[in-house]
Protein backbone atom coordinates (compact mmCIF):
# COMPACT_ATOMS: atom_id res chain seq x y z
CA UNK A 1 0.00 0.00 0.00
CA UNK A 2 0.98 3.63 -0.44
CA UNK A 3 3.09 5.34 2.20
CA UNK A 4 0.95 7.24 4.72
CA UNK A 5 1.27 11.03 4.47
CA UNK A 6 3.20 11.38 7.72
CA UNK A 7 5.76 8.75 6.64
CA UNK A 8 6.16 10.31 3.21
CA UNK A 9 6.62 13.66 4.91
CA UNK A 10 9.22 12.17 7.28
CA UNK A 11 11.17 10.87 4.28
CA UNK A 12 10.83 14.22 2.46
CA UNK A 13 12.08 16.02 5.56
CA UNK A 14 15.11 13.78 5.53
CA UNK A 15 15.83 14.94 1.99
CA UNK A 16 14.37 11.95 0.14
CA UNK A 17 12.45 13.21 -2.87
CA UNK A 18 9.09 11.95 -4.14
CA UNK A 19 10.93 10.88 -7.28
CA UNK A 20 13.27 8.65 -5.29
CA UNK A 21 10.33 7.21 -3.32
CA UNK A 22 8.43 6.37 -6.52
CA UNK A 23 11.30 5.03 -8.63
CA UNK A 24 12.47 2.83 -5.75
CA UNK A 25 8.92 1.50 -5.18
CA UNK A 26 8.88 2.27 -1.46
CA UNK A 27 5.61 1.21 0.13
CA UNK A 28 3.96 0.58 3.48
CA UNK A 29 2.81 -2.72 4.99
CA UNK A 30 0.74 -1.23 7.78
CA UNK A 31 3.57 -0.87 10.31
CA UNK A 32 6.85 -0.61 8.36
CA UNK A 33 8.38 1.07 5.31
CA UNK A 34 8.90 -1.62 2.67
CA UNK A 35 12.16 -1.28 0.72
CA UNK A 36 12.44 -3.66 -2.26
CA UNK A 37 15.93 -5.04 -2.92
CA UNK A 38 16.99 -5.90 -6.48
CA UNK A 39 19.95 -7.81 -7.89
CA UNK A 40 22.51 -6.09 -10.18
CA UNK A 41 20.32 -7.01 -13.18
CA UNK A 42 17.34 -5.24 -11.67
CA UNK A 43 15.45 -8.42 -10.74
CA UNK A 44 13.47 -8.15 -7.51
CA UNK A 45 14.92 -10.33 -4.73
CA UNK A 46 13.28 -9.57 -1.38
CA UNK A 47 11.99 -6.81 0.84
CA UNK A 48 13.76 -5.08 3.68
CA UNK A 49 11.62 -3.27 6.27
CA UNK A 50 12.32 -0.04 8.16
CA UNK A 51 10.38 0.35 11.39
CA UNK A 52 7.84 3.15 11.74
CA UNK A 53 9.82 6.27 12.71
CA UNK A 54 6.84 7.36 14.83
CA UNK A 55 6.28 3.94 16.40
CA UNK A 56 7.92 2.29 19.42
CA UNK A 57 11.72 2.13 19.19
CA UNK A 58 12.12 -1.08 21.18
CA UNK A 59 11.59 -3.12 18.00
CA UNK A 60 14.48 -3.78 15.59
CA UNK A 61 15.10 -0.87 13.25
CA UNK A 62 15.33 -3.18 10.23
CA UNK A 63 13.82 -6.53 9.32
CA UNK A 64 14.11 -8.75 6.28
CA UNK A 65 12.04 -11.32 4.47
CA UNK A 66 13.04 -14.77 5.75
CA UNK A 67 15.90 -16.58 4.02
CA UNK A 68 17.47 -13.49 2.46
CA UNK A 69 21.16 -12.96 1.79
CA UNK A 70 23.20 -9.76 1.98
CA UNK A 71 22.91 -7.75 -1.23
CA UNK A 72 24.34 -4.57 -2.68
CA UNK A 73 21.41 -2.17 -2.64
CA UNK A 74 21.05 -0.08 -5.81
CA UNK A 75 23.69 -2.10 -7.70
CA UNK A 76 21.46 -2.17 -10.79
CA UNK A 77 21.56 1.61 -11.09
CA UNK A 78 25.30 2.26 -11.00
CA UNK A 79 26.50 0.38 -14.07
CA UNK A 80 27.29 3.59 -15.97
CA UNK A 81 28.01 5.76 -12.94
CA UNK A 82 31.37 7.59 -13.14
CA UNK A 83 31.58 7.75 -9.37
CA UNK A 84 29.87 5.94 -6.57
CA UNK A 85 29.36 6.76 -2.92
CA UNK A 86 29.17 3.72 -0.67
CA UNK A 87 26.99 4.47 2.34
CA UNK A 88 25.64 2.38 5.21
CA UNK A 89 21.89 2.42 4.79
CA UNK A 90 19.26 2.26 2.05
CA UNK A 91 17.75 5.57 3.10
CA UNK A 92 21.17 7.24 2.82
CA UNK A 93 21.34 5.87 -0.74
CA UNK A 94 17.94 7.41 -1.50
CA UNK A 95 19.01 10.69 0.10
CA UNK A 96 21.95 10.96 -2.28
CA UNK A 97 19.93 9.71 -5.24
CA UNK A 98 17.49 12.53 -4.54
CA UNK A 99 20.20 15.03 -5.47
CA UNK A 100 21.28 13.07 -8.54
CA UNK A 101 24.20 11.14 -7.06
CA UNK A 102 25.00 7.45 -7.40
CA UNK A 103 25.15 5.52 -4.16
CA UNK A 104 25.00 1.95 -2.92
CA UNK A 105 24.87 0.19 0.45
CA UNK A 106 25.13 -3.33 1.77
CA UNK A 107 21.76 -4.55 3.05
CA UNK A 108 23.67 -6.11 5.96
CA UNK A 109 25.25 -2.90 7.34
CA UNK A 110 28.75 -1.51 7.79
CA UNK A 111 30.77 -4.71 8.27
CA UNK A 112 29.09 -6.87 5.64
CA UNK A 113 30.61 -5.82 2.33
CA UNK A 114 31.15 -8.85 0.10
CA UNK A 115 34.26 -9.40 -2.00
CA UNK A 116 32.14 -10.66 -4.89
CA UNK A 117 30.86 -7.09 -5.37
CA UNK A 118 34.33 -5.65 -5.95
CA UNK A 119 34.28 -6.02 -9.78
CA UNK A 120 31.24 -3.69 -9.90
CA UNK A 121 33.52 -0.86 -8.76
CA UNK A 122 36.38 -1.41 -11.20
CA UNK A 123 37.41 1.76 -13.01
CA UNK A 124 35.12 4.03 -11.01
CA UNK A 125 35.83 6.78 -8.55
CA UNK A 126 34.70 5.52 -5.20
CA UNK A 127 33.90 7.32 -1.99
CA UNK A 128 33.21 5.49 1.25
CA UNK A 129 30.84 7.46 3.42
CA UNK A 130 29.91 5.32 6.41
CA UNK A 131 28.44 6.45 9.72
CA UNK A 132 30.81 8.29 12.04
CA UNK A 133 30.43 5.78 14.92
CA UNK A 134 32.98 3.07 15.71
CA UNK A 135 31.22 0.37 13.67
CA UNK A 136 31.09 2.71 10.69
CA UNK A 137 34.73 3.75 10.92
CA UNK A 138 35.83 0.17 11.35
CA UNK A 139 33.77 -1.02 8.38
CA UNK A 140 34.99 1.88 6.25
CA UNK A 141 38.68 1.28 6.93
CA UNK A 142 38.22 -2.44 6.28
CA UNK A 143 36.75 -1.52 2.91
CA UNK A 144 39.79 0.66 2.19
CA UNK A 145 41.86 -2.53 2.15
CA UNK A 146 39.70 -3.87 -0.70
CA UNK A 147 38.97 -0.80 -2.78
CA UNK A 148 41.15 2.17 -3.76
CA UNK A 149 38.52 4.55 -2.43
CA UNK A 150 38.44 7.92 -0.75
CA UNK A 151 37.30 8.04 2.84
CA UNK A 152 34.60 10.60 3.62
CA UNK A 153 34.60 11.65 7.26
CA UNK A 154 31.33 12.90 8.70
CA UNK A 155 32.18 15.19 11.61
CA UNK A 156 31.07 13.96 15.02
CA UNK A 157 28.49 16.44 16.20
CA UNK A 158 25.40 16.25 18.37
CA UNK A 159 22.66 14.42 16.47
CA UNK A 160 24.82 13.68 13.42
CA UNK A 161 25.63 10.06 12.75
CA UNK A 162 25.24 9.51 9.02
CA UNK A 163 25.31 11.45 5.78
CA UNK A 164 21.55 12.05 5.89
CA UNK A 165 21.83 13.64 9.36
CA UNK A 166 24.74 15.72 8.17
CA UNK A 167 22.91 17.09 5.15
CA UNK A 168 19.94 18.12 7.31
CA UNK A 169 21.70 21.40 8.03
CA UNK A 170 21.54 23.73 5.01
CA UNK A 171 25.04 25.07 5.70
CA UNK A 172 26.47 21.55 5.37
CA UNK A 173 27.63 20.73 1.86
CA UNK A 174 28.35 17.27 0.58
CA UNK A 175 30.83 18.72 -1.91
CA UNK A 176 33.11 19.96 0.87
CA UNK A 177 33.09 16.51 2.51
CA UNK A 178 33.91 14.83 -0.81
CA UNK A 179 36.68 17.32 -1.53
CA UNK A 180 38.23 16.70 1.89
CA UNK A 181 38.03 12.91 1.49
CA UNK A 182 41.47 11.32 1.43
CA UNK A 183 42.56 8.14 -0.27
CA UNK A 184 44.93 5.58 1.24
CA UNK A 185 46.04 3.51 -1.77
CA UNK A 186 48.72 1.77 0.28
CA UNK A 187 45.99 -0.11 2.16
CA UNK A 188 44.44 -1.75 -0.91
CA UNK A 189 47.67 -2.51 -2.76
CA UNK A 190 48.22 -6.25 -2.64
CA UNK A 191 51.32 -7.27 -0.70
CA UNK A 192 53.55 -8.96 -3.28
CA UNK A 193 55.09 -12.43 -2.94
CA UNK A 194 58.65 -11.97 -1.79
CA UNK A 195 61.67 -13.96 -2.74
CA UNK A 196 64.34 -12.15 -0.73
CA UNK A 197 64.42 -10.89 2.83
CA UNK A 198 65.74 -7.53 1.66
CA UNK A 199 62.56 -7.03 -0.41
CA UNK A 200 60.35 -7.73 2.60
CA UNK A 201 62.42 -5.26 4.59
CA UNK A 202 62.01 -2.61 1.87
CA UNK A 203 58.26 -3.15 1.87
CA UNK A 204 58.16 -2.90 5.68
CA UNK A 205 60.05 0.38 5.44
CA UNK A 206 57.43 1.71 3.03
CA UNK A 207 54.65 0.95 5.53
CA UNK A 208 56.60 2.45 8.41
CA UNK A 209 57.14 5.63 6.44
CA UNK A 210 53.42 5.82 5.72
CA UNK A 211 52.73 5.22 9.40
CA UNK A 212 54.90 8.20 10.33
CA UNK A 213 53.03 10.41 7.89
CA UNK A 214 49.78 9.17 9.35
CA UNK A 215 50.88 10.20 12.84
CA UNK A 216 51.62 13.70 11.57
CA UNK A 217 48.21 13.91 9.93
CA UNK A 218 46.54 12.69 13.10
CA UNK A 219 48.35 15.26 15.21
CA UNK A 220 47.41 18.04 12.78
CA UNK A 221 43.77 16.93 12.79
CA UNK A 222 43.71 16.91 16.59
CA UNK A 223 45.23 20.37 16.77
CA UNK A 224 42.76 21.69 14.22
CA UNK A 225 39.81 20.16 16.10
CA UNK A 226 39.01 17.89 13.12
CA UNK A 227 37.84 14.26 13.34
CA UNK A 228 40.73 11.86 13.95
CA UNK A 229 39.14 8.57 15.12
CA UNK A 230 39.63 6.93 11.70
CA UNK A 231 43.42 7.26 12.01
CA UNK A 232 43.32 4.71 14.82
CA UNK A 233 41.76 2.08 12.59
CA UNK A 234 44.08 2.81 9.69
CA UNK A 235 47.05 2.55 12.03
CA UNK A 236 45.84 -0.83 13.28
CA UNK A 237 45.60 -2.11 9.71
CA UNK A 238 49.12 -0.94 8.95
CA UNK A 239 50.54 -2.40 12.15
CA UNK A 240 48.94 -5.74 11.30
CA UNK A 241 50.49 -5.67 7.85
CA UNK A 242 53.91 -4.81 9.28
CA UNK A 243 53.54 -7.59 11.82
CA UNK A 244 52.74 -10.07 9.04
CA UNK A 245 55.82 -8.98 7.13
CA UNK A 246 57.98 -9.38 10.22
CA UNK A 247 56.70 -12.89 10.60
CA UNK A 248 57.45 -13.49 6.92
CA UNK A 249 61.04 -12.36 7.52
CA UNK A 250 61.34 -14.71 10.50
CA UNK A 251 60.07 -17.60 8.42
CA UNK A 252 62.33 -16.79 5.46
CA UNK A 253 65.33 -16.70 7.80
CA UNK A 254 64.36 -20.06 9.16
CA UNK A 255 64.04 -21.64 5.73
CA UNK A 256 67.10 -19.91 4.31
CA UNK A 257 69.10 -23.11 3.99
CA UNK A 258 66.49 -25.84 3.46
CA UNK A 259 67.40 -29.50 3.60
CA UNK A 260 66.83 -31.74 0.55
CA UNK A 261 63.32 -32.62 1.77
CA UNK A 262 62.34 -28.93 1.93
CA UNK A 263 62.52 -28.76 5.69
CA UNK A 264 64.35 -25.96 7.44
CA UNK A 265 67.06 -26.25 10.07
CA UNK A 266 66.28 -28.81 12.76
CA UNK A 267 64.03 -30.72 10.35
CA UNK A 268 60.90 -28.62 10.65
CA UNK A 269 58.64 -28.39 7.63
CA UNK A 270 56.08 -25.80 6.59
CA UNK A 271 53.43 -28.40 7.40
CA UNK A 272 54.83 -28.73 10.96
CA UNK A 273 54.53 -24.98 11.37
CA UNK A 274 50.98 -24.98 10.05
CA UNK A 275 49.99 -27.74 12.49
CA UNK A 276 51.75 -26.06 15.41
CA UNK A 277 49.80 -22.86 14.78
CA UNK A 278 46.55 -24.79 14.93
CA UNK A 279 47.00 -25.84 18.57
CA UNK A 280 44.33 -23.77 20.36
CA UNK A 281 45.98 -21.06 22.45
CA UNK A 282 43.26 -21.63 25.05
CA UNK A 283 44.75 -25.04 25.75
CA UNK A 284 48.20 -23.50 26.31
CA UNK A 285 46.91 -20.91 28.73
CA UNK A 286 46.95 -21.93 32.39
CA UNK A 287 44.51 -19.68 34.17
CA UNK A 288 40.88 -18.80 33.97
CA UNK A 289 39.46 -17.24 30.82
CA UNK A 290 36.24 -15.34 30.44
CA UNK A 291 34.53 -15.88 27.07
CA UNK A 292 33.00 -12.93 25.24
CA UNK A 293 31.74 -14.00 21.83
CA UNK A 294 34.74 -14.76 19.65
CA UNK A 295 37.16 -13.67 22.37
CA UNK A 296 38.48 -15.13 25.60
CA UNK A 297 39.91 -12.70 28.13
CA UNK A 298 42.23 -13.33 31.07
CA UNK A 299 45.27 -12.14 33.00
CA UNK A 300 48.38 -11.80 30.86
CA UNK A 301 50.92 -14.59 31.42
CA UNK A 302 53.68 -12.33 30.08
CA UNK A 303 53.46 -9.34 32.39
CA UNK A 304 52.29 -8.61 35.94
CA UNK A 305 48.74 -7.41 36.08
CA UNK A 306 45.64 -7.47 38.25
CA UNK A 307 43.01 -6.68 35.64
CA UNK A 308 42.68 -8.79 32.53
CA UNK A 309 44.09 -7.34 29.32
CA UNK A 310 45.10 -10.57 27.59
CA UNK A 311 42.76 -11.50 24.74
CA UNK A 312 42.61 -14.68 22.70
CA UNK A 313 40.78 -14.33 19.38
CA UNK A 314 39.34 -17.81 19.24
CA UNK A 315 38.43 -17.97 15.57
CA UNK A 316 41.82 -16.78 14.32
CA UNK A 317 43.63 -18.54 17.18
CA UNK A 318 45.62 -15.36 17.85
CA UNK A 319 46.34 -13.53 21.06
CA UNK A 320 47.04 -9.95 21.97
CA UNK A 321 47.84 -8.29 25.28
CA UNK A 322 46.63 -4.71 25.58
CA UNK A 323 49.05 -4.23 28.47
CA UNK A 324 52.38 -5.39 27.08
CA UNK A 325 51.57 -5.84 23.35
CA UNK A 326 52.57 -9.53 23.40
CA UNK A 327 50.85 -11.05 20.43
CA UNK A 328 50.06 -13.41 17.61
CA UNK A 329 50.02 -17.16 17.29
CA UNK A 330 50.50 -20.38 19.27
CA UNK A 331 54.19 -20.54 18.33
CA UNK A 332 54.78 -17.04 19.69
CA UNK A 333 52.91 -18.01 22.85
CA UNK A 334 55.17 -21.00 23.53
CA UNK A 335 58.35 -19.07 22.59
CA UNK A 336 57.45 -16.47 25.18
CA UNK A 337 56.17 -18.90 27.80
CA UNK A 338 59.15 -21.26 27.65
CA UNK A 339 61.71 -18.68 26.56
CA UNK A 340 62.65 -21.05 23.74
CA UNK A 341 63.59 -20.83 20.08
CA UNK A 342 61.22 -21.01 17.12
CA UNK A 343 61.93 -24.64 16.22
CA UNK A 344 61.75 -25.72 19.86
CA UNK A 345 58.31 -24.10 20.21
CA UNK A 346 57.09 -25.86 17.08
CA UNK A 347 58.32 -29.21 18.47
CA UNK A 348 56.68 -28.56 21.84
CA UNK A 349 53.38 -27.84 20.10
CA UNK A 350 53.56 -30.91 17.86
CA UNK A 351 54.18 -33.16 20.87
CA UNK A 352 51.21 -31.76 22.71
Whose Cβ is closer to Zn ion: residue 263's or residue 317's? 317
| Contact yes or no for 230/152 (Cβ under 8 A) | no
Q: List, in sequence order, every residue forming a beta bridge with 87; answer none if it has no partner.
A: 105, 129
Whose Cβ is closer to Zn ion: residue 228's or residue 320's? 320
Binding characters for Zn ion, 195-234, by CB under 5 A (x = yes): ----------------------------------------
Q: How many residues does the chain have?
A: 352
Binding characters for Zn ion, 241-280, by CB under 5 A (x = yes): ----------------------------------------
Whose Cβ is closer to Zn ion: residue 194's or residue 302's? 302
Name residues contacting Zn ion, limited to 286-345 (CB under 5 A): 300, 302-303, 321, 323-324, 326
Q: Nearest 5°: phi and psi at 329?
A: -100, -175
Min. distance of Cβ 215 from Zn ion in angstroms? 24
Whose Cβ is closer to Zn ion: residue 300's or residue 334's? 300
Q: N- to C-terminal Cα distance for the chain?
A: 64
Binding residues with Zn ion: total (CB under 5 A)? 7
Min. distance of Cβ 324 from Zn ion in angstroms? 3
Whose Cβ is closer to Zn ion: residue 148's or residue 323's? 323
Min. distance of Cβ 303 from Zn ion in angstroms? 4
Whose Cβ is closer to Zn ion: residue 316's or residue 325's? 325
Min. distance of Cβ 285 from Zn ion in angstroms? 12
Min. distance of Cβ 290 from Zn ion in angstroms? 16
**Burial of 195 (C-beta count, 10 Å sphere; 0-12/13-18/19+):** exposed
Min. distance of Cβ 323 from Zn ion in angstroms? 4
Instruction: Give me the residues that bind Zn ion (CB under 5 A), please.
Output: 300, 302-303, 321, 323-324, 326
Amino acid sequence: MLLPDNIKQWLNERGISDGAIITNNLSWNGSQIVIPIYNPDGIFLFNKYRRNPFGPDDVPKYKYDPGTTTQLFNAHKIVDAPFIIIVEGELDVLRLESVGLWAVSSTGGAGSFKDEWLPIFTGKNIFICYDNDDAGMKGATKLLTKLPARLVIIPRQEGIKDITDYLQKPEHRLSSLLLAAESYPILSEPVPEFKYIKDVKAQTKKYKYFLEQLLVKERNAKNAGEPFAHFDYIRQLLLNTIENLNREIRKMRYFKHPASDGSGKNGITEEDIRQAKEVPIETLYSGSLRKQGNRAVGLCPFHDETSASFVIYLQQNHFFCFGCSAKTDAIDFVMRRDGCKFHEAVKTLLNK
